Amino acid sequence: MNKKIWLSPPHMGGSEILYVKNACDANWVAPIGPCIDGFEDDLSRFLGGSVGVAALSAGTAAIHMALIVLGVKAGDEVICQSLTFAASANPIVYQGAIPVFVDSEEQTWNMSPHLLEEAIKDRIAKGKTPKAIVIVHLFGMPGRMAEIVEISKKYEIPLIEDAAEALGSTYGSKKLGTFGDIGILSFNGNKIITTSAGGALIAENSELVARARFLATQAKENLPYYQHNNIGYNYRMSNICAGIGRGQMEILSLRIFQRRRNFYNYKRLLSSIPGISFQEEMSTDYFSNRWLTTILIEPGNENLNNENLRLFLEKSNIEARRIWKPLHLQPIFEQYPAYVNGISEKIFDKGLCLPSGSSLTDYELNKVVKRIATFFDV
């Protein structure tokens, strides 16, 4: 059997093991230690230097912390992009709060600013001003940040940026994750860089970051005995994971280059196939890290669809995956309010994520392209 071509496998740079060895030698095998401080500094510097960063156990934990430090409580409403991974919205439900889903717009595939404002106005008219907005940058593509930030300011509703897929993407001259009141990142095994499992919370406001660190470390008061005035969480990143992260930060720019190269090669080589289109950067303001290259298929006939292509590639040991199913269609979320326009459903029905790892070789990418061409019989 041919070697499997994965969607987005981990890709070590080489120095991760040195950080981990140093951590083990110094006995920093704990959720505290120099790699955590170093990794937070690395991230802060990469993001532009003026933000605080708290390294946490997962991106999901970071979203949960973001909601808590912004004061989201049981019964509150939180607006969330519908076209995303369930982890964007699950923490809203952990808080006993109510997710209100907002659909996407065609160009970026991310939250429609128009529909966002409509949703906010409608919730306010119903006496329920949303407590926060969770916007997502799908597959690394920046959302319409100028409009989204303006709406968040206009209605004074804090913005949480789920940049789990978008480390290294920029909008204008600013890195994604730094536009919201709080940004979050993920370093899960499939993301552009990984710590095996991990995440981070980002904020300009250092008090929010300090609060998140405190709550994520069991909320122990600064007293000689164990005093707890708040419910705490065990959400800190391990120093060993942070060591992997420090090594990964050394090659992050190269990883962005490699992922973007995948996109350009797919686009160039698949352009002759009618009916295939890509998630495009709308203007020079938009710079995607191209975490995953995703295509939309306009079927020439009903058999030439995304699911059949996925199965066809699987037979050649190539892993492609469907695009996130919109959350407003999920059994766990369908009872919640949703403001929809059909766009996320269309993207779900037509979309497919192609193998996009930074370690993907030219040979492998060409093999994927050839199989796709065979499927479409061109």
Residues that bind ligand PLP (CB under 6 A): 58-60, 84-85, 87-88, 136, 162, 164-165, 186, 188, 199
- Please compute Rg for the chain using Cα positions: 21
Of residues 93 and 369, the one with the C-beta less far from ligand PLP? 93
Alpha carbon 181 to its chain centroid, in Å, reads 16
Provide the CB-side half-sphere exposure for 224 (13 A, CA). Answer: 0
Residue with smaller CB distance to ligand PLP, 170 or 276: 170
Is 76 or 165 the residue whose CB approaches ligand PLP more closely?
165
Asked whether the beta carbons of 262 and 356 are under 8 A apart, the reply is yes
Whose Cβ is closer to ligand PLP: residue 164's or residue 270's?
A: 164
For ligand PLP, which residue has the nearest CB?
59
**180/375 with CB nearer ligand PLP:** 180
Find the shortest distance in angstroms from Cβ 60 to ligand PLP. Answer: 3
CA 11 to each of CA 2, 246, 289, 294: distance values in angstroms, whole numbers, following the listed order: 20, 14, 15, 20
Residues 179, 145 contacting (CB under 8 angstroms): yes
Local structure of residue 251 (DSSP, 8 states): T
What is the nearest approach in angstroms of ligand PLP to the Cβ of residue 47? 17
CA of residue 13 relative to chain centroid, distance: 22
In angstroms, give the least distance from the CB of 84 to ligand PLP. Answer: 5
- Of residues 87 and 241, the one with the C-beta less far from ligand PLP: 87
Per-residue tokens: 297: 């298929």
Nearest distance from C-beta of residue 176 to ligand PLP, angstroms:
12
Residue 228 structure tokens: 């707890």
**Rounded Cα gap, residues 183 and 177, in angstroms:** 4
**Smallest separation (angstroms) from ligand PLP to the CB of 291:** 8
Can you read off the two tokens belonging to residue 182?
A: 């709080």
Q: Taking the complex as a whole, how short is the minimal distance between the CB of residue 166 and ligand PLP, in angstroms?
A: 9
Q: How far is the CB of 85 from ligand PLP (least distance, A)?
A: 4
Cβ distance to ligand PLP smaller for residue 65 or 270: 65
H helices present in 95-158, as ranges: 113-125, 145-154
Helix axis angle for 145-154 and 113-125, nearest 10°, is 20
Q: What are phi and psi of 107, to 5 degrees?
A: -75, -50
As measured in angstroms, the least distance from the Cβ of 199 to ligand PLP is 4
- Which positions ≥6 away from 152 have C-beta within 8 Å? 133, 158, 159, 180, 181
d(CA 155, CA 84): 24
**Residue number, 93 or 304, with CB nearest to ligand PLP:** 93
> Which two structure tokens, joined as six digits, stand for 149?
């930030």
